[in-house]
């Protein structure tokens, strides 16, 4: 059998944090497979774009099968996300289901397929993009719940993978300057500026994610790492 070349799989690469992460990994020489429902603006001989609905489990399974038949995934980043807001009395069950599907179910399907491959290879990195609101915030309860679920998944998977040299972490940004902030579905809420006085930049999140893929980060696993511009500082 041919020796499979290493690759990174990144979701949500059409814009925002996912695009910044894919761009950063490309600059470090990774072959990146980008999975998104929208077309990507990235252009590189090392970038393979897959336009798929991540919440379609059959389509996602087929795509992953095609990728792992040609490349050995050593980095997996789930950055795709959607934000729907709502207060008690006006919570939208469909919106909640969509967020759970995209954030939690897709993360689970990705990990279930890819982490065993990493375990067998004896190395690998999974990074889930969470959120600072996972602790709970008024008006975003359904979104916060899905992001909180990622923390439990990451800690559980980290415990299963640690002996095989595979790490699993969550990176949780505060309000980040992405198209999600301009989504018409959230016009009733405004982002809270971190104490730093500005929005977090996608490139800043990407730099942290890229560090977690390095050999120097091999001892970091099962962690929720905030990039919050001071929002976590006790006062």
Q: Compute the distance between CA of residue 129 and CA of residue 225 in angstroms, rounded to an integer.
A: 10
pLDDT of residue 185: 55
CA distances (Å), origin 84, targets 76, 131, 186, 227: 25, 14, 6, 22
Mean pLDDT calculated for residue range 82-98: 91
From 150, 184, 209, select the one nearest 27 (Cα to Cα): 209
Q: Compute the distance between CA of residue 82 and CA of residue 60 in angstroms, rounded to an integer.
A: 18
pLDDT of residue 147: 95
H-only helix segments in 72-140: 93-100, 106-121
1 pLDDT tier (thresholds 50, 70, 90)? very low
pLDDT of residue 181: 65
| Tens digits of residue pLDDT in 184-224 | 554 555 667 777 888 889 999 999 999 999 999 999 999 99
pLDDT of residue 217: 97
Q: Compute the distance between CA of residue 202 and CA of residue 181 in angstroms, rounded to an integer.
A: 12
| Tens digits of residue pLDDT in 177-186 | 777 666 555 4
Q: Compute the distance between CA of residue 78 and CA of residue 170 in angstroms, rounded to an integer.
A: 10
CA distances (Å), origin 110, targets 19, 37, 40, 107, 228: 18, 16, 20, 5, 26
Element containing residue 168 per DSSP (H, E): strand 166-173
């Amino acid at each position: 059998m041919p020796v499979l070349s290493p690759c990174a799989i990144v979701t949500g690469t059409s814009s925002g944090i996912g695009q910044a992460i894919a761009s950063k990994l490309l600059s470090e020489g990774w072959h990146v497979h980008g999975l998104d429902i929208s077309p990507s603006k990235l252009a590189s001989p090392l970038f393979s774009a897959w336009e798929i609905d991540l919440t379609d489990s059959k389509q996602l399974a087929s795509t992953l099968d095609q990728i792992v038949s040609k490349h050995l995934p050593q980095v997996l980043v789930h950055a795709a996300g959607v934000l729907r807001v709502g207060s008690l009395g006006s919570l939208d069950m469909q919106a909640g289901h969509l967020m759970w599907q995209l954030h939690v179910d897709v993360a689970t399907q990705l990990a279930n397929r890819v982490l065993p491959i990493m375990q067998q290879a004896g190395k690998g990195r999974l990074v889930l993009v969470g959120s600072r609101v996972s602790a709970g915030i008024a008006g975003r309860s359904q979104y916060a719940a899905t992001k909180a679920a990622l923390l439990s998944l990451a800690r559980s998977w980290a415990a299963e993978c640690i002996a095989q040299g595979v790490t699993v972490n969550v990176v949780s940004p505060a309000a980040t300057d992405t198209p999600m902030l301009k989504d018409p579905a959230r016009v009733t809420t405004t982002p809270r500026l971190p104490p730093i006085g500005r929005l977090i930049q996608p490139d800043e999140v990407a730099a942290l994610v890229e560090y977690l893929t390095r050999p120097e980060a091999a001892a970091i696993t099962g962690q929720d790492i905030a990039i919050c511009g001071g929002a976590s500082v006790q006062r």
